[in-house]
Amino acid sequence: MPAYGLSHILWLIGIACTSAALCFLCRRKWISHRAVRMVLAVGLAAVEIERTLRDGLHFPGRLPLNLCNLSTWAAVFALLTLWPAAVEFAYFIGLSGAAMALLMPDMGHAWPVRFFLNHGGTIMAATVLVFGRIGQVRNGAVWRALAILGIYAVLLGAFDAVFRTNYGYLRHKPEGVTLMNLMGPWPFYLAWLILVALTLFWLLWIPARRSAS
């Protein structure tokens, strides 16, 4: 298990409390959900653009193809348009992936501020859209999210195989301590990841269904 420092713990508490507060305020209509959406969208886009400019792009190994990159832009699109498919992507895939990344990051002991802003912003966006009663999560969303995740895995798995990259950790596990360490060797941990994703999606569906009622 990763050894969390005080800074990491405070970030986790801050993200959780801010998400809960935004959901409560938007649900009660005590603040403008449009303003919240715009601030979150601009913030997420800025962090992702800053990361791209700082790290640069290089084919094939340094492209914005990791799930966190796609989830960030899906969250931005969902915030700007409220398109149900984007909301569902941000909620099921973005929220679960960002939460796992924050709880078990593959970054050793160096966690830059942008790491928390990116993943924390994705969590805030997804929760405020659903629990702030701004966006829509439709029946069958769990299976659609799982299908999208499967398509991503197939396409990126083929890309990884051809170009010897490791987007989505589809060719080998991350170097740091993550949940994947408990899932056995490749390719067995991929099957476990599908089961974990399905479980998380169903757990997320329960409060989303109640929130929409």
CA dist., res. 68 & res. 20, Å (int): 22
Would you give the distance in Å from CA 130 to the centre of its chain? Answer: 14
Alpha-carbon distance of 157 to 80, in angstroms, equals: 30
Q: What are the tokens at 136?
A: 């829509």
Burial 144-161 (b: 16+ CB within 10 A, else e): bbbebbeebbeebbebbe
pLDDT tens for 150-183 read 999 999 999 999 999 999 889 988 776 677 777 8
Calculate mean pLDDT across residues 108-122: 82
Contacts for 190 with CB less than 8 Å, ≥ 6 apart? 153, 170
pLDDT value of residue 187: 85
Q: Answer with the residue of higher pLDDT: 177 or 122.
A: 122
Phi, psi of 105 (to 5 degrees): -75, 145
- In degrees rounded to 5, what are phi and psi of residue 37? -60, -45
pLDDT tens profile 3-45: 567 888 899 999 999 999 999 999 999 999 999 999 999 999 9
pLDDT at 76 over 60: yes
pTM over 0.95: no
CA distance linking residue 119 with residue 125, whole number of Å: 10
